[in-house]
Structure 1
Amino acid sequence: MNRLLRMASLAAFVFVALSGVMGGVMGNFAGVAMAQAAGGIGSGPGYHDPRSPIKPLQERAGVVAWTLLSSVTTKVEKDKLTPIFPPQILALDKQKVRVQGFMMPLEPGDKQQHFLLSSVPTSCAFCVPAGPEGLIEVRTRQAVRYSLEAITIEGQLSVLSDDAYGMFYRLVDGQALKP
């Protein structure tokens, strides 16, 4: 039984690494193929489990909607996925915006300055809750306390068409806003 648990843990770790959170290869064709083979885990805008005790995000005035950010399409070129952004998303590039979402820490500790913001809450420690269209890499000026509840961040958004880590969006110079 112990061996079986170790094998399952290793398989989960490899899946997460190939999906991009640990290994930064979200745009890698092998990672995409694995996500598709696993039933789409880590692909698409994300799925909010109705059994979750955490409330889903509600669209708010003045906050960029995930329905817009997830409207990106992709095409396979050689060994990677290339995003195709609609004009409404391209217009947000290098603009100061507000986004809301669920924090996925990238560093140890309860305060984070570098994290992922997801369109849906994380429901599994080994699963990516959404694909690159449902995630934003965030860097903030001051550390933000981790919370299971949704947070709103304001900062400069970059729309990424060829990110080495497979991300579609990055927000820099961020600042957490009061709820």
Structure 2
Amino acid sequence: MNHLPSICLPALRALLLSCALAGSWPGLAWAQPAPVLGQGPGYHDPRSPFKPLQEQEGVLSWSLLSSVTTKADKTRLIPIFPAAVRALDKKTVRVQGFMMPLEPGDKQRHFLLSSVPTSCSFCVPAGPEGLIEVRSKQPVRYSLEPVLVEGVLAVLSDDAYGLFYRLAEGQALAYKP
């Protein structure tokens, strides 16, 4: 079942796969050495006006989600999830992050949640280990500030678009940094 808009998914999949196979992320070469896939949730640009997320009790840690490693196949990435991540599959979790809208408008029912803020409107800020596709019950007002969402997490071992995580039945909660 396709969850992302048909225009976004092929581009996202191609970007994630090409970056993984090339060992670098576009637009970041000037800022840091090429990251190793599976080694982190994304790059927080020090020039960003937004502070990096701080871990919070009761909120799923991006460091845990990014502990996945990958093996590159000819046409896709094969995620290898640690047991602690696999145990989260089909569990209700809370996760904080930055919204990347997938629909027009200021209220979103379908968006990506990123571990780091977007610093370029044409770039994906993190690899698949730093993104969660979210489907919310009620529309969530788009914000550049971090949001807190609760829902049922799916750990995806063979997603057609290269995503590793999906949150269903999402509900926005009051964010307290």
Alignment partner for residue 84 of structure 2, among 83, 88, 103?
Answer: 88
Residue 21 of structure 1, CA deviation: 5.5
What is the distance in 2 between the residues matched to 1:178 and 1:82?
Answer: 35
Alignment partner for residue 24 of structure 2, among 12, 31, 36?
Answer: 36
RMSD of the alignment, in Å?
A: 2.1
| Residue 135 of structure 2 is aligned to residue 139 of structure 1 | yes
Could you say if the C-alpha distance between residues 130 and 155 of structure 1 is closer, same or farther in structure 2, counting changes exceeding 3 Å?
A: same
Larger % of helix: which?
1
Asked whether the equivalents of residues 111 and 133 of structure 2 are also in contact (C-alpha less than 8 Å), the reply is yes
Partner of 1:79: 75
Q: Which blocks of at least 5 consecutive residues in structure 1 are unaligned? A: 1-19
What is the distance in 1 between the residues matched to 2:51 and 2:17?
Answer: 33
Partner of 1:174: 170
For 2:174, the aligned partner's letter is: K
Residue 70 of structure 1, CA deviation: 0.4
Could you say if the C-alpha distance between residues 170 and 146 of structure 1 is closer, same or farther in structure 2, counting changes exceeding 3 Å?
A: same
Alignment partner for residue 11 of structure 2, among 8, 14, 23?
Answer: 23
TM (norm. structure 1) is 0.81
Question: What whole-Å deviation, never above 9, does each CA across 1:44-67 have from its counterpart, x for those lacking one?
Answer: 521111221111100000000000
Residue 162 of structure 1, CA deviation: 0.3
- Identical aligned pairs, as a percentage? 65
Asked whether the equivalents of residues 16 and 127 of structure 2 are also in contact (C-alpha less than 8 Å), the reply is no
Asked whether the equivalents of residues 50 and 117 of structure 2 are also in contact (C-alpha less than 8 Å), the reply is yes
For 2:48, the aligned partner's letter is: S
TM (norm. structure 2) is 0.82
For 1:67, the aligned partner's letter is: S
What is the distance in 2 between the residues matched to 1:37 and 1:99?
Answer: 24
Q: How does 1:39-118 map to 2 (within 5 A)?
A: 39=29, 40=34, 44-118=40-114
Question: What whole-Å deviation, never above 9, does each CA across 1:68-102 have from its counterpart, x for those lacking one?
Answer: 00000000223211000000000000000000000
What is the distance in 2 between the residues matched to 1:67 and 1:92?
Answer: 14
Could you say if the C-alpha distance between residues 164 and 24 of structure 1 is closer, same or farther in structure 2, counting changes exceeding 3 Å?
A: farther
